[in-house]
Structure 1
Amino acid sequence: MDSYDIAVIGGGPAGYVAAIKGAQLGGRIVLFEKDTVGGTCLNRGCIPTKTFLKGAEIIHTIQMAGKYGIKNDSSFSVDMAKAVENKNQVVKQLTSGVAGLLKSNAVDVVYGEAELVDEHTIECQNKLYKAENIILCGGSKTSKIPIPGIESADVLTSDDILDMKELPEKLAIIGGGVIGCEIGAALAYYGSKVTIIEAENRILPFMDRELSAALEETFKKLGIQMYTSTKVEAIQSEKGCRVMCSGGKTVEADKVLISIGRTSDLQCLGALRKKLQQERNFVIADEYMRTNIPNIYAAGDITGKSMLAHSAFKMGEAAAKNAMGGSEKCLLKTVPSCVYTLPECASVGLSEEKAEEIYGKSEITVGRFPFRANGRSLASGTTEGFVKVIVQKTYNEILGIHIFGANAAEMISEATNLICTEIPADEAAEIVHAHPTFSEALMEACADALNMSIHLPKKK
């Protein structure tokens, strides 16, 4: 029977990073993957949706060309089969790259469904493997809600819609979170009539309220219909779909996308499913990524701590270090969140509402800088949006930064660095930024929190 220092179950962002880090630290590592390495992120999530959104961005650029004196025919059509083909090529290149990284680090990769037999044994394809330590990176799967009609062939998951070869004329999206908003934005630009149905009182309910409101306004301009505070009661499928909602609302659509989030995939727990402690269907792991069984760790979506690929990277790395004898905490307090719509939304730290709840409204100050006052934004024709900075008054501590606008997902990294390194707002406002750049708006928003912005009218 093969024996290893670490066995990793799942080859997604948490799993493949854990395997490579364990190998770098001198361990003999085996990685089990039931499908293709790369997990949801590379195969069915982050990367595939970004290829569709790049198409939407190109359409937007075509539509803006006349403003810059470029004479062109702004009419267009979308070949969804070709779009899917391009997506598949991008995915294949990245997953092949991950496979190459695993091979170069001498990680043994075993394909097939792997399950725990006991604390040190894994079964895969009727073969047993032994490991001193095990890291569970089983990932997540799409969530479904128990409503009549959800099993219809016209009701798609986020996995299904990324392989759709024909553009639906009318698309209903159940769920106004990241997946729903990103796919909704892309397909609205492609030409679909999109309706988003969200049970909460706003889309992107987990983000700062101003970002949600700003994106709602953008979606209205794009022609996306939104029903918030609305629950789906049934889906009727006869020559298309009819989504029956609370309040007597009815949405007609050719296809329905279910995008109400994801839940952990616990298949890998096998014989230890009842022994491993869980909460809300997620495996409980502490800040060292340890489960209640001493030699078993868990990382990524299966823990429910932060269901983001970059969080999974960090969790996987910490789990591997600790499995190899280290003692590293995985702190996820300052993990940025991004939504790649047009414009983008990005956040790190506390929302204004949460900051007020923790510190009190009188103890915080908020700085804002609109992109319409930013030179690079004006020159680029991307003046929609703002940077918002939340500051604790006593020490000028930056509590949260929220960006709505072009390149927000890139700019949020600097914002994260400011919070992680505990640079106060007054010092952040003094950092010299290249001009003209979008990121100058971050510096100006920090200054505005102190009523010291040079490029905004003085507050009264």
Structure 2
Amino acid sequence: MANEIIMPKAGMDMEEGTIVKWLVSEGDKVDTGDPILEILTDKVNMEVEAETPGTILKIVAKEGDVLPVFTVIGYIGKEGEQPPEGVAPEAPAKEEKPAEEAKAAPVKEEPSKQAQKQEDEYDVVVLGAGPGGYVAAIRAAQLGAKTAIVEAQYFGGTCLNVGCIPTKTLVKNAEILHQIEHAGSKGIIVGKPEIDMKKVKQNKDSVVKKLTGGIGALLKSNGITIIDGVGSAGNDDTVKIVEGKDKGKTVKYDKLIIATGSLPLVPPIPGLDLPGIMTSTEILDLEEIPKELVVIGGGVIGCEFATIYNSFGTKVTIVEMMPKLIPNMDAEVSAELEKQLKKAGIKVMTDSKVEKVETAPEGFSVTVSGKDETSIKAEKVLVSIGRKANMKGLEDLDIKKDRTIAVDDYLRTSKENVYAVGDITGKIQLAHWASAQGMKAAENAMGASKKMDCRFVPSCIYTIPEIGSVGLTEEEARQKYDVAIGRFPMMVSGKAIAMGETEGFVKIITDKKYGEILGVHIVGPNATELVAEVTAVMKLEGTIEELGDIIHPHPTISESIMEAAHAVHGECIHLPKK
């Protein structure tokens, strides 16, 4: 008798799941434990495995279907066995909201209004499916908008495909190698690890594929029309697809949200157009570890890749034109980062400028001027001086723009029904900022009037140790306030000592008069997670006294935040009295 394949209940609260992709076809033979499909729940994207060996007899649910748990989606059994007769399951109808709830959400469009629109007419069209664009599209659909999203390359944009996610996958490898290197001090003797870069790349690609598939399923589950191609926005409230699978298609919009993102910026330095010169996109596809790597630019991207390849055994040199690494960072944090990179064996050259890059035997020769005029031999060169707004498809749109698109506090451009979010606005080039903008832009496009608040946007740097920052630097704060500063070093933290990760500190900058928290800068283990706590306190207008009064669990790295809060007034328990 054929066995049913069902939509699993992957958690106590799970009520339905989305079929992202079938990994098998009818007639395929599988063993117990073989992955047969990917599903998306409200929490995770996961693979479903075969519970019994046999042949896939019938698949009765399509990719993109949203189905209740325990719904039969296919059959597995002996080859030639006939599955039960039946039809594909139907997605459950959406429950109507009570009238009171509808009144509480005035920005949501009535279905009757949607029905009046022609097939190629939309309430909201979104250009770009990066972290700003796909979030904006989903939020608009949640509010009742008939929504379309135009994407030329891949869901998730730079962040998910060639930015945050793949680099953090590589950073995890660097962390593992770092732990192995220091395992001897903890009494664990480990042999020298070997790195298979092809498998490293395969793992990175697998992570990216899983997440991009999840975004596609999210868009489909929200009823969003996906248009494949490059969109060119016109002044007649239309978007024409000029490249890609849907080339020639034209859609009309009531509101347009631009989320076309950014591209790597390559400066006009002689030699940077040579074959083999890499940006942050190309370096992610390396399948061999270079002997030497010169990183042009000591910003976030450059320092992260320097950390990664240094841990892989590459001889890394960072060349930064400014006096310090990551120039917009708090000076004390920048100095600590430079110290730790040098300690790890990375050569750091600040106040230095790359004059030219030339081909040389087994790679390149990089000529540098500044404090140390020299020529550096490198098998590979990475250009990471920043990113520029992607204006492709916006050339004919009559809005205020230069190198970026100007928006007001409500994310409106100079054209009333056109909004812009993310890197294209040039304000803060962070994925979580783009997503927050996407939410607000969609809500405002649907009738709300919500301002963006950029005072409390955390930034994270995934070096070793990690860095998490939010708010003003000490230099910025001193220009406006009479400040009091509290510091707590990781070398005094019980958890950090137990971990063997005692580099770094927590630094809190406050206004002496009112105890307002102006900025927090964390260097150390889990810094990119810890910064969320202080961001929440600052957003809720908590004072330094209130932050210090929060009981933190022991032993944790988070205690360092409480200790630094006490240190602002010289009341830190675990530091000697000055």
Q: Deviations over 1:358-377 (max 9, x none)?
A: 22xxx111100011111111
In structure 1, the partner of 2:14 is none
Q: Distance in 2 between matches of 1:380 and 1:180?
A: 27
Alignment of 1:322-341 (within 5 A): 322-341=444-463
Q: Is 1:109 the equivalent of 2:226?
A: yes
Q: Distance in 2 between matches of 1:390 and 1:353?
A: 10
- Name the aligned partner's letter for residue 217 of structure 1: K
Give how far 1:220 is off: 0.9
Q: Is 1:54 the equivalent of 2:54?
A: no
Q: Distance in 2 between matches of 1:207 and 1:113?
A: 36
In structure 1, the partner of 2:181 is 63
Q: Is 1:207 the equivalent of 2:322?
A: no
Q: Distance in 2 between matches of 1:245 and 1:69?
A: 43
Q: Is 1:223 the equivalent of 2:340?
A: no
- Name the aligned partner's letter for residue 267 of structure 2: I
- Name the aligned partner's letter for residue 488 of structure 2: F
- Name the aligned partner's letter for residue 262 of structure 1: R
Q: Distance in 1 between matches of 2:466 and 2:151?
A: 33
Q: Distance in 2 between matches of 1:128 and 1:423?
A: 50
In structure 2, the partner of 1:98 is 215
In structure 1, the partner of 2:293 is 171
- Cα contact 1:134–1:295 (8 A) shared by 2: yes
- Name the aligned partner's letter for residue 260 of structure 1: I
Q: Is 1:250 the equivalent of 2:367?
A: no
Q: Distance in 1 between matches of 2:341 and 2:195?
A: 20
In structure 2, the partner of 1:427 is 546
TM-score, reference length from structure 1: 0.97
- Cα contact 1:433–1:439 (8 A) shared by 2: yes
Q: Distance in 1 between matches of 2:359 and 2:310?
A: 22
Q: Distance in 1 between matches of 2:543 and 2:511?
A: 9
Q: SS in structure 2 opposite 1:155?
A: coil
Q: Is 1:447 the equivalent of 2:569?
A: no
Q: Deviations over 1:230-285 (max 9, x none)?
A: 1111101122111111142211100100000001000131421xx21124x00001
Q: Distance in 1 between matches of 2:320 and 2:305?
A: 14
In structure 1, the partner of 2:400 is 277
In structure 2, the partner of 1:268 is 393
Q: Deviations over 1:78-109 (max 9, x none)?
A: 22111111100000000001111101101111
Greater relative CO, 1 or 2 (CA 8 Å, sep 6+): 1
In structure 2, the partner of 1:397 is 516
Q: Distance in 1 between matches of 2:376 and 2:410?
A: 47
- Cα contact 1:7–1:135 (8 A) shared by 2: yes
In structure 2, the partner of 1:37 is 155
Q: Is 1:83 the equivalent of 2:208?
A: no
Q: Distance in 2 between matches of 1:447 and 1:229?
A: 37
Q: Is 1:457 the equivalent of 2:576?
A: yes
Give how far 1:119 is off: 4.2
Higher helix share goes to which structure? 1
Q: SS in structure 2 opposite 1:134?
A: strand
Q: Distance in 2 between matches of 1:81 and 1:169?
A: 16
Q: SS in structure 1 opposite 2:352?
A: coil
Identity %: 46
- Name the aligned partner's letter for residue 341 of structure 1: T
Give how far 1:166 is off: 1.1
Give how far 1:154 is off: 2.4
**Ranges in structure 2 where 5+ consecutive residues have no aligned partner:** 1-118, 242-246
In structure 1, the partner of 2:497 is 378
Q: Deviations over 1:398-434 (max 9, x none)?
A: 1000000010000000010121111111121111001
Q: Distance in 1 between matches of 2:236 and 2:425?
A: 18
Q: SS in structure 1 opposite 2:182?
A: helix
In structure 2, the partner of 1:438 is 557
Q: Distance in 1 between matches of 2:516 and 2:532?
A: 17
Q: 2:309 aligns with which of 184, 187, 194?
A: 187
Q: 2:135 aligns with which of 6, 9, 17?
A: 17
TM-score, reference length from structure 2: 0.77
Q: 1:149 aligns with which of 241, 251, 271?
A: 271
Q: SS in structure 2 opposite 1:50?
A: helix
In structure 1, the partner of 2:74 is none
Structure with the greater alpha carbon radius of gyration: 2
Q: Distance in 1 between matches of 2:411 and 2:329?
A: 26
Deviation larger for 243-252 or 372-381: 243-252
- Name the aligned partner's letter for residue 47 of structure 1: I
- Name the aligned partner's letter for residue 83 of structure 1: V
Q: Deviations over 1:370-399 (max 9, x none)?
A: 111111111111111100000110111110
- Cα contact 1:119–1:295 (8 A) shared by 2: no
Q: SS in structure 2 opposite 1:269?
A: coil
Q: Distance in 2 between matches of 1:283 and 1:299?
A: 9
Q: Distance in 2 between matches of 1:340 and 1:209?
A: 18
Q: How many residues align?
A: 452
Q: SS in structure 2 opposite 1:291?
A: coil
